[in-house]
């Protein structure tokens, strides 16, 4: 299609018309499923209703209902409109032809309770133009509308498994399989990638029987395959939320009649209850994927170890100082004592030699000249527990299964807050999408080079299953020497980075498991 031709494409539900902007066709807000409202609330996604004529898709659609972030650090520049009618996707493509380009399918993060595929940081023109690939970004149901296990609590009156948000992702992948060729993409060469809860979703998709064959490669960023609730924990969270609402758990009509505002208020209260010391809901993410035995048969990493992701090449990694983003939002961190450090680590890691772990981190950091205050030690341990160790275990697991896995560690330091954020959570996103800016990410020749390196590697991986590229050079698969690409002001391949800290986890049984 020439640049002067209208951007009209026929999908399985009808024709859509997007925009052409500086070499990229952009389609915003294509419905990939029917609105999950009314009687469809908490049910698996259903096909979108067909339409006649040409449907304009030139503006981003509404996002899933969510509460505003607790910190301005995480807030979007402008709030996006929300609605339960949220199952839409966006496509960025260099051409509407039969070129069969690699497809990058993005799953946004946000703790399974916030975020959207239309966030400005994910705007796809830069990566699609640089790599000649097709980018798809999606919305999926979040929080109490996407991860509430209602089938047990309602005695089957509402058969929600607690994985409806994951089912939305799978349904969007099926839409891509059936439609992406018309947008210049190759339905047989799809790479799923995501960050934080999006990376954890990628890990879950690797374990889900219903998603097998819908993608060929996977890139979980800052979130691997260790995050899922047990049924018991999910049921406790669901009961706690319903108790807050003051509605009978067996009154399906009353539950479906609840306004989204009431649900979001109850979700906020649930998060507070979960964070309270001694809570039987458990801290962290009270609303997340559930090991229900059907959609998600077992903890994702265990399914992968049994072969669920055999043949799927994986590129996995984390940021060096993930937890610093959360530390700056915790006023108590500045006053943390050694005793409080020990108690927090004991809550985080109930079994194993926590004192030995702390001392191992202290010794390793002291040797490098890194700070060893209680706050710095806790941040480093939290980072590795939640992000780096699960990534390493996933790479090891795929290696042992005979499927290539590639490892990275993102080390660029944010200029924000006089450097206090370090190489924090979510910092790599602007570089990956080429949307890095002055305040949070940093700009300049070094930043531009890092962005190009990451885009080239991710695109090479999407095209061939190997992230080696001209700008970064040869990137070998993860092996016995723990080959890892450092991505920062100077990007380079190293062996076994931060190995002393990694070895310290060998004495902690199941430390990176995300079940409760």
What is residue 509's predicted lDDT score, i.e. its pLDDT? 79
Which one from 222, 425, 441, 512 is the annotated catalytic residue?
A: 425
Give yes or no: 512 in active site: no
pLDDT at residue 76 greater than cutoff 80: no
pLDDT at residue 378 greater than cutoff 50: yes
d(C-alpha 387, C-alpha 403), whole Å: 21
Query: Quick one: CATH architecture of 8-56+81-227+295-309?
Result: 3-Layer(aba) Sandwich (3.40)
pLDDT at residue 107 greater than cutoff 80: yes
By the 8 A CB rule, do 436 and 447 touch? yes
DSSP 73: G
Sorted by sequence, the CB contacts under 8 Å of residue 257 that are 6+ apart come out as none
Per residue in 361-376, pLDDT (tens digit) is 999 999 999 999 999 9
What is residue 234's predicted lDDT score, i.e. its pLDDT? 97
For 145, 153, 162, 499, the CA distances from 150, given in Å and listed in that order, are: 10, 5, 7, 43
Per residue in 145-178, pLDDT (tens digit) is 999 999 999 999 999 999 999 999 999 999 999 9
Q: What are the tokens at 465?
A: 């299953």
What is residue 412's predicted lDDT score, i.e. its pLDDT? 98
Per residue in 32-62, pLDDT (tens digit) is 999 999 999 999 999 999 999 999 999 999 9
Give yes or no: 313 in active site: no
Per residue in 137-147, pLDDT (tens digit) is 999 999 999 99
Place of tokens 């979001």: 264
Pick from 457, 459, 460: which is nearest to 491 by CA?
Answer: 457
Place of tokens 């990058």: 104
For 207, 281, 400, 458, the CA distances from 404, given in Å and listed in that order, are: 17, 37, 9, 15
User: pLDDT band at 515, cuts 50/70/90?
Assistant: very low
> Mean pLDDT throughout 414-428?
97
User: pLDDT band at 2, cuts 50/70/90?
Assistant: very low
- Domain-wise residue ranges, the chain: 8-56+81-227+295-309, 317-507
Is the whole model's pTM more than 0.85, yes or no? yes
Domain 317-507 in CATH: superfamily? Alpha/Beta hydrolase fold, catalytic domain (3.40.50.1820)
d(C-alpha 496, C-alpha 481), whole Å: 6
pLDDT at residue 513 greater than cutoff 50: no
User: pLDDT band at 74, cuts 50/70/90?
Assistant: low
What is residue 77's predicted lDDT score, i.e. its pLDDT? 63
Give yes or no: 248 in active site: no
pLDDT, the chain, mean? 95
Which one from 114, 116, 196, 512 is the annotated catalytic residue?
A: 196
Which one from 195, 322, 376, 428 is the annotated catalytic residue?
A: 322
Per residue in 241-250, pLDDT (tens digit) is 999 999 999 9
Rg (CA), the chain: 22
310: helix, strand or coil: coil
d(C-alpha 328, C-alpha 249), whole Å: 38
Domains 8-56+81-227+295-309 and 317-507 share a fold: yes
In the chain, pLDDT over 70 holds for what percent of residues? Answer: 96
pLDDT at residue 70 greater than cutoff 80: no
d(C-alpha 349, C-alpha 221), whole Å: 23
């Amino acid at each position: 299609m020439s640049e002067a031709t209208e951007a009209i494409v026929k999908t399985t539900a009808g024709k859509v018309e997007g925009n052409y902007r500086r070499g990229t066709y952009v389609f915003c807000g294509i419905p990939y499923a029917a609105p999950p409202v009314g009687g469809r609330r908490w049910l698996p996604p259903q096909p979108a209703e067909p339409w006649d004529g040409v449907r304009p898709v030139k503006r981003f659609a509404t996002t899933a209902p969510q509460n505003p972030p607790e910190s301005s650090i995480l807030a979007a520049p402008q709030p996006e409109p929300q609605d339960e009618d949220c199952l839409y996707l966006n496509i960025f493509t260099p051409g509407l032809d039969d070129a069969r380009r690699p497809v990058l399918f993005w799953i946004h993060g946000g703790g399974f309770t916030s975020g959207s595929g239309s966030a400005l940081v994910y705007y796809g023109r830069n990566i699609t133009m640089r790599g000649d690939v097709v980018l798809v970004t999606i919305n999926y149901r979040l929080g109490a509308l996407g991860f509430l296990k209602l089938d047990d609590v309602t005695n089957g009156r509402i058969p929600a498994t607690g994985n409806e948000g994951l089912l939305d992702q799978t349904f969007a992948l099926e839409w891509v399989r059936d439609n992406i060729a018309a947008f210049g993409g190759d339905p047989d060469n799809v790479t799923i990638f995501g960050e934080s809860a999006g990376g954890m979703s990628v890990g879950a998709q690797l374990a889900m029987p219903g998603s097998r064959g819908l993608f060929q490669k996977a890139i979980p960023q800052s979130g691997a395959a260790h995050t899922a609730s047990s049924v018991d924990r999910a049921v406790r969270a669901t009961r706690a939320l319903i108790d807050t609402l003051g509605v009978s758990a067996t009154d399906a009509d009353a539950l479906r009649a609840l306004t989204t505002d009431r649900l979001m208020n109850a979700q906020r209260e649930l998060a507070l209850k979960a964070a309270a010391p001694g809570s039987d809901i458990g801290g962290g993410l009270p609303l997340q994927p559930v090991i229900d035995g059907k959609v998600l048969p077992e903890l994702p990493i265990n399914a992968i170890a049994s072969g669920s992701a055999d043949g799927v090449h994986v590129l996995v990694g984390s940021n060096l100082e993930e937890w610093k983003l959360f530390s700056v939002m915790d006023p108590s961190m500045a006053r943390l004592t050694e005793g409080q450090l020990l108690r927090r680590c004991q809550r985080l890691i109930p079994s194993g030699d926590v004192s030995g772990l702390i001392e191992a981190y202290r010794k390793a950091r002291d040797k490098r000249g890194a700070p060893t205050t209680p706050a710095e030690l806790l941040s480093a341990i939290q980072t590795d527990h939640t992000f780096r160790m699960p990534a390493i275990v996933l790479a090891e697991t795929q290696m042992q299964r005979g499927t290539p896995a590639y490892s990275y560690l993102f080390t660029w330091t944010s200029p924000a807050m006089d450097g206090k954020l370090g190489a924090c959570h979510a910092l790599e996103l602007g570089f990956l999408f080429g949307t890095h800016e002055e305040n949070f990410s940093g700009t300049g020749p070094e930043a531009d080079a890092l962005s190009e390196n990451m885009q080239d590697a991710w695109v090479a991986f999407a095209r061939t299953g190997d992230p080696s590229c001209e700008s970064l050079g040869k990137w070998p698969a993860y092996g016995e020497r723990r080959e890892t690409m450092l991505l920062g002001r100077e990007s380079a391949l190293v062996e076994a980075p931060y190995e002393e800290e990694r070895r310290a986890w060998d004495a902690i049984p199941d430390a990176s498991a995300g079940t409760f």
